[in-house]
């Protein structure tokens, strides 16, 4: 089905159109969420949230951007919201544990291995994903969309709602920061 027809059918609440949308975009949404969250269950949870959001707000979609761009945007927003919420919870748990409350401080997640990484790159990619977590949001989003999802700079710019120049700058700084983090890792930890 052509994209416009699919959107029209979704606006008319056609169940078959919603199924087609999910079939078409589920892996894209899940992969993006997983690459940023590093947890399969949580990524699937966010993927479900994304499609529920799409279902509920498709009437507002005016077709000014590609459908995939809109879905990417929703995914990124959901992931970042979830991460901010988790960060706040973690900070609160640390503070309350200092005052003796028995809130358990969340332990660090185990090393993340992306299922799509080539066998020979598994160990290095785990180190890279760990370093990626320490980057500012914009740099992290641009890096994941470009390197993991394979989106070109123009598409990344459309998804993030910024100019191509801004994406180039995010990518440049992301690589610089990653290099510094990896240097620190290899020089001190090894």
Binding residues vs another protein (CB under 8 A): 19, 22-23, 26-28, 30-31, 34-35, 40, 44, 47-48, 51-52, 55, 114-118, 121, 124-125, 127-128, 147-148, 175, 178-179, 182-183, 186-187
Between 111 and 183, name the residue whose CB sits nearer to another protein: 183
Least CB distance from residue 64 to another protein, whole Å?
Answer: 26
Between 47 and 141, name the residue whose CB sits nearer to another protein: 47
Residue from 71, 62, 74 nearest 25 by CA: 71
Least CB distance from residue 170 to another protein, whole Å?
Answer: 16
* Token pair in block for residue 162: 């910024």
Contact 36, 49 (CB under 8 A): no
Least CB distance from residue 128 to another protein, whole Å?
Answer: 5
Least CB distance from residue 118 to another protein, whole Å?
Answer: 6
First to last CA, the chain: 53
State the Cα–Cα distance between residues 190 and 183, nearest whole angstrom.
10
State the Cα–Cα distance between residues 126 and 177, nearest whole angstrom.
17
Q: Left, alpha or beta for 117 (phi > 0: left; psi -120 to 50: alpha)?
A: beta
Between 13 and 84, name the residue whose CB sits nearer to another protein: 13
């Amino acid at each position: 089905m052509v994209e416009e027809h699919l959107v029209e059918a979704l606006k008319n609440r056609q169940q078959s159109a919603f199924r087609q949308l999910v079939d078409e975009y589920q892996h894209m949404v899940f992969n993006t969420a997983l690459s940023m969250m590093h947890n399969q269950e949580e990524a699937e949870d966010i993927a479900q949230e994304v499609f529920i959001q799409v279902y509920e707000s498709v009437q507002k979609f005016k077709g000014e951007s590609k459908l995939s761009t809109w879905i990417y945007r929703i995914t990124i927003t959901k992931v970042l919201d979830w991460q901010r919420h988790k960060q706040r919870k973690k900070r609160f748990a640390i503070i309350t544990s200092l005052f003796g409350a028995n809130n358990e401080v969340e332990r660090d997640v185990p090393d993340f291995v992306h299922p799509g990484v080539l066998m020979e790159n598994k160990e290095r990619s785990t180190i890279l994903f760990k370093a990626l977590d320490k980057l500012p949001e914009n740099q992290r989003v641009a890096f994941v969309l470009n390197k993991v999802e394979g989106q070109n700079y123009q598409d990344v710019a459309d998804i993030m709602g910024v100019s191509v120049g801004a994406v180039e700058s995010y990518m440049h700084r992301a690589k610089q920061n990653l290099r510094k983090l990896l240097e620190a890792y290899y020089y001190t930890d090894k």
